[in-house]
Chains A and B, each alone.
Chain A
Amino acid sequence: MKKLGLFGVMAALLRREVSVALRQKGEVLTPLVFFVVVASLFPLGVGPESALLLRMAPGVLWVSALLAAMLSLQRLFATDHADGSLEQMALSSTPLGLLVAAKALTHFLLSGLPLVLMAPVLGLQFGLESHSLGILMLTLLLGTPTLSLIGSIGAALTLGVRGAGVLLSLLILPLYIPVLIFGAGAVEADAAGLGIGGHLSLLAALLVLSVFFAPLATKTALRISLE
């Protein structure tokens, strides 16, 4: 039997996660549709005045993306938990932290990345210029992996719990706030002609912190939930 190195294990896990998730194409597309619908609700709520929409756009698009990314978190562990494969994985010799990281990465690839690609289309609806659209995509690209990683902690904590979906939102939305502030803030700052180096570095720092600490918290939470 070929001995896999760290990357080999990760690649195998990733392959498995992506193929399992892609079997439910509908569940992959729903958050994307949700993103579009929610972002469209705001103009309907505040009126079509273009100056106002332009001002609102970074925040609205970021919040909508954040909520859409959160939607599919519940499924992160639930489906594997339901058929018992999660326990098998936890008992196996594969480090649980790696598995958890693979799941978060899959979530980013199938949830976050589509949002990054869809965001400029919605940005046009709000009148954002092409330069702002680029910054929006960049901040979402840096931010959505962090959202997936932090979200995985919530998913592990609420595994199998009554009312898990709403509870999960309540638990992780406060933790999403720094990402939101720097992400939306960067787009605004750029539109105002200010530098965004600080924002981007902070987003990157948040990502690095999450990569190191979120899997640790998630795997602890998972072991607690599986007891």
Chain B
Amino acid sequence: MQWNNWNEFLAMGGYAQYVWPAFGLTALAVVIEVIQVRAKRREVLRSLHAQFESEKGDPQ
């Protein structure tokens, strides 16, 4: 354990304004990518349902 208390940890030896945004950006990138992937799946499913609905009336 390198840190004596929470404040020291958050301060990161004076580099807090660089270290935390770096980790924060990484977390944000993960969140954004997860959202993007799920949105893509939803969009594909939506368009497939629309296509199959319109095909229901077509003769087989």
A–B contact (CB under 8 angstroms): no
Interface residues of B (CB under 8 A from A): none
